[in-house]
Structure 1
Amino acid sequence: MTESSTPDPQRTLSNDEIAQQDLPGWARLAGGLFARFETGDFQTGLELVSAFGAAAEEAGHHPDLVLTYPALEVKLVSHDVGGITSRDIQLAQAFNGLAKVHSVSAAPAALAEVELALDTPDHEKIAPFWAAVLDYEQDGDELVDPSGRGPTMWFQKRDSEDAEASQRFHLDVWVSPDVAQDRISAATAAGGTVVDESQAPSFVVLADADGNKACICTSLDRAGTGS
């Protein structure tokens, strides 16, 4: 491989570039690259954690791993540049190979990431309060859980000062593009309605029978390299 064709490990990849990679079972959600491996039992999960850990150590690039009895969930992101890089792609591909060796398959339909969105005319005025209440840290216009357990919270600009003008909180539910329509169909079958699909496939706004809104979000058709 020539020097010019070697990927720059510090360059953040766009969502379109990520979508072109050979990454079966993985999905670009809000906070990074995610996969869920159905291990079926705890012992297999431990073996997979050990294999993934060894590969990560060799690569010098480390994932977030969450092991439960039936599955191992993996998140990859290059924290030093705040996005997905070739390092994440290469490690995800290595993990897929190791999962195959252990006869474990990925389940992209089970992937989801939830974010909290709060409407406000002035997020700078209220962000410190929510950071204190949640014990979160401010990262630009977002609040993040330093432990990685809680959902990210972000602020949506609104013009009105009237607290009763609209619903203040809504959920952003990030899913794999392959299952977004299934999730929307399930929501409407459960009594919900589609409020706005003008931004699809980036996101579709749904509402329950009382008018409370939520968005089904994917990484498709999003400008730039961010989430």
Structure 2
Amino acid sequence: MSTFTDAQIEEALESLPGWSQEGEAIVRTYEFADFRAALDFMNRAAGPVEEMDHHPEWTNVYNRVDIRLSSHDAGGVTGRDIQLANVLERVAGAVA
């Protein structure tokens, strides 16, 4: 699995509003109505994340979930990260 170039990441993120590149990863912060909604998002995302066997770095503080995606085994952003970002977008849309 090869890592994306900065240009490839930039192009992929055009269809992922709110996502940005930060070093060797892509990042996004989701804000929900409250703590329960933030946890609902994480719980709903757990199934698809596990199916992909590609786990995000994420933290939750009250209504916010901060996510960092990188393919550590490849040393940067790959297609799997972009695919997972799209899955997370769909899940977040269902929670909002």
TM-score (norm 1): 0.40
What residue in structure 2 maps to residue 72 of structure 1? 65
Residue deviations 1:76-99 (CA, integer Å, cap 9, x gap): 000001100000000001100111
Structure 2: how far apart are the matches of 1:91 and 1:41?
24
Higher relative contact order (CA 8 A, sep 6+): 2
What residue in structure 2 maps to residue 15 of structure 1? 6
Correspondences of 1:1-227 after superposition (within 5 Å): 10-21=1-12, 22-103=15-96
Shift of 1:23: 1.4
Q: Which amino acid aligns with 2:23?
A: A
Residue deviations 1:10-69 (CA, integer Å, cap 9, x gap): 110011101111211100012411000001311001111112221110111110110010
Structure whose alpha-carbon radius of gyration is higher:
1
Structure 1: how far apart are the matches of 2:3 and 2:10?
14
User: Residue 57 of structure 2 contacts residue 69 of structure 2 at CA under 8 Å; is this kept in 1?
Assistant: yes
Q: Which amino acid aligns with 1:34?
A: V
Q: How many residues align?
A: 94
Residue deviations 1:165-208 (CA, integer Å, cap 9, x gap): xxxxxxxxxxxxxxxxxxxxxxxxxxxxxxxxxxxxxxxxxxxx
What SS is found at the alignment partner of 1:20? helix
Structure 2: how far apart are the matches of 1:91 and 1:33?
11
Instruction: Point out where structure 2 has 5 or more consecutive residues left out of the alignment.
Output: none
Q: Which runs of 4+ in 1 moved over 6 A?
A: none
User: Residue 48 of structure 1 contacts residue 102 of structure 1 at CA under 8 Å; is this kept in 2?
Assistant: yes
> By percentage of residues, which structure has more strand?
1
Q: Which amino acid aligns with 1:91?
A: L
Instruction: Point out where structure 1 has 5 or more consecutive residues left out of the alignment.
Output: 1-9, 104-227
User: Residue 37 of structure 1 contacts residue 71 of structure 1 at CA under 8 Å; is this kept in 2?
Assistant: yes
User: Residue 24 of structure 2 contacts residue 77 of structure 2 at CA under 8 Å; is this kept in 1?
Assistant: no
Structure 1: how far apart are the matches of 2:22 and 2:66?
13
Q: Which amino acid aligns with 2:42?
A: V
Identical pairs, percent: 32
Structure 2: how far apart are the matches of 1:31 and 1:81?
10
TM-score (norm 2): 0.93
Cα RMSD of the aligned pairs, angstroms, is 1.0
